Amino acid sequence: MSRRNRPPVALLILALLGLALFAVPLVALLIRTPWGQLPALLRSDIVADALRLSAVASVSATLIAAVVGVPLAWLLARVEFPGRALVRGLVLLPLVLPPVVGGAVLLFALGRRGVVGQALEQATGLVLPFSTWGVIVAVTFVSMPFLVVTVEGALRNLDARFEGAAATLGASRWTVLRRVTFPMIWPSVAAGLVLTWARALGEFGATITFAGNIQGRTQTLPLAVFVALESNRDAAVALSLIMVAVSLTVLVVLRERWWKAL
C-alpha cells in the first residue's frame, strides 16, 4: 500500500471502535456458549416450543404479507386516490411506532373488549389475544411494512413503458402483471420477503403486549430468551445463538444483489 492510499489513523481508530460495538457481543456470546450441552438444550421443551412457534409465526406473517402486502404496494404505487399520502403513512407507521404501542393498539382493536375483537368473538368464537393467531397478527403488523415499502419502491422505479409494450403485443392486464411486471420486480419482492421474515422472527414488543407470554402458545424465540435470562442462562444463550445464526445467514445470503434492489 502506498503512503497515499493509507487511511488516516484517527479515522481508522474510530471505525474499529464502531465495529467493536457489533463484534464484541458476538464474540462474548460464542465464548459464553456451553457447546457441550447445546444439543440437549436445543431439545429442551422451552427451546423446542419457542423454535416451532417462531417458525410458524414468522412464515405465516411472510405469507400473509405476500398475499395482501404486494397488492397493497401496487395500490400505493399505481392507483391515484385522494388521501394516498395518508394511507402510505398509515402502512409505514409500524416501522417507527414502538412495538409495545403497536401491541397496545392491536389490543384496543382486536382484544376481547376491542372494537373489532368483540364482534369477531361473537361471530366466530375466535379470540386473538393470548393465542397463536394473536402472535401471527402481531408479527404481521410489525413486519409487513418492510415488504410494502420495498415492493412499492420497485414498482415506482419500474419503467411503465414495458407494460405498455406488453399490452400492444396482446397481453391482457393480468398477463402483463404475471409475465412482465412481477418478474421485473421479483428481486425486490424477494428482498422484501426476506426482510419481512427476519423482522417477524425477531418481533418482541407487540407480541408480548398483544399475545402475552405463554410457553407453547405465544412464547416465540425472543420472548423465550427474555424469560430464560432470569431462569436458565444456558438456554438463553442457546436461543440467542440460534437467532444470531439465522439473522447473519439472511444478511449474507441477501448480499449485494438484493440489497441493491432496496
Partner 1 sequence: MSGLDAQMVVRRNGFVLDVALEIEPGRTVALLGPNGSGKSTVVAALAGLLPVDEGSIVLDGAVLDDPTGRVFVPPEDRRIGVVFQDYLLFPHLSVIENVAFGLRSRGVGRSEATDTAAGWLERLGIAELVERRPGDLSGGQAQRVALARALITDPKMLLLDEPLAALDATTRVELRRILADHLAAFAGPRLFITHDPTEAFLLADEIHIIEHGRVTQVGSADDIRLRPRTPYIADLGGSNLFSGDAARGVVDVGGHALHIADTHISGSVLATIHAHAISLHQHRPEGSPRNTWETTVTRVEHFGDRVRVQTGAPLPITAEVTPGAVADLELREGSAVWVSIKATEIGVEAG
Query: In the range 62-121, which residues lie near partner 1 by CB under 8 A?
Result: none
Q: Is 165 helix (H, G, I), strand (E, B) or coil?
A: helix
Q: Which is nearer to partner 1, 71 or 164 (CB)?
A: 164
Q: Which is nearer to partner 1, 108 or 162 (CB)?
A: 162
What grid cell was written down for 220? 416465540
> Does residue 26 touch partner 1 according to CB under 8 A?
no
- With CB under 8 A as the contact rule, which of the stretches 31-39, 137-145, 183-191, 228-236 interacts with partner 1? 183-191
Q: How far is the CB of 245 from partner 1 (least distance, A)?
A: 33
Q: Which is nearer to partner 1, 108 or 186 (CB)?
A: 186
User: What's the 3-state SS for the chain?
Assistant: CCHHHCCCHHHHHHHHHHHHHHHHHHHHHHHHCCHHHHHHHHHCHHHHHHHHHHHHHHHHHHHHHHHHHHHHHHHHHHCCCCCHHHHHHHHHHHHHCCHHHHHHHHHHHHCCCCCCHHHHHHHHCCCCCCCHHHHHHHHHHHHHHHHHHHHHHHHHHCCCHHHHHHHHCCCCHHHHHHHHHHHHHHHHHHHHHHHHHHHHHHCCHHHHHHCCCCCCCCCCHHHHHHHHHHHCHHHHHHHHHHHHHHHHHHHHHHHHHHHHHC
Q: Among 119, 165, 248, 251, which residue sits at the site for partner 1 (rule: CB under 8 A)?
A: 165
CA distances from 157 to 78, 179, 184, 240, 252 (A): 11, 17, 10, 38, 25
Q: How far is the CB of 158 from partner 1 (least distance, A)?
A: 11
Question: What is the total residue count of the chain?
Answer: 262
What grid cell was written down for 80? 391515484
Q: Among 175, 213, 215, 232, which residue sits at the site for partner 1 (rule: CB under 8 A)?
A: 175
Q: Among 72, 73, 107, 180, which residue sits at the site for partner 1 (rule: CB under 8 A)?
A: 180
> Does residue 157 touch partner 1 according to CB under 8 A?
no
> Does residue 171 touch partner 1 according to CB under 8 A?
yes
Q: Which is nearer to partner 1, 15 or 160 (CB)?
A: 160
Query: In the range 208-247, which residues lie near partner 1 by CB under 8 A?
Result: none
Q: Which is nearer to partner 1, 159 or 230 (CB)?
A: 159
Q: Which is nearer to partner 1, 233 or 260 (CB)?
A: 260
Q: How far is the CB of 179 from partner 1 (least distance, A)?
A: 7
- With CB under 8 A as the contact rule, which of the stretches 34-42, 85-93, 160-168, 222-230 interacts with partner 1? 160-168
Q: Which is nearer to partner 1, 125 or 170 (CB)?
A: 170
- Tell me the site size for partner 1, rule CB under 8 A: 19
Contact positions toward partner 1, by CB under 8 A?
159, 161-162, 164-173, 175, 179-180, 183-184, 186
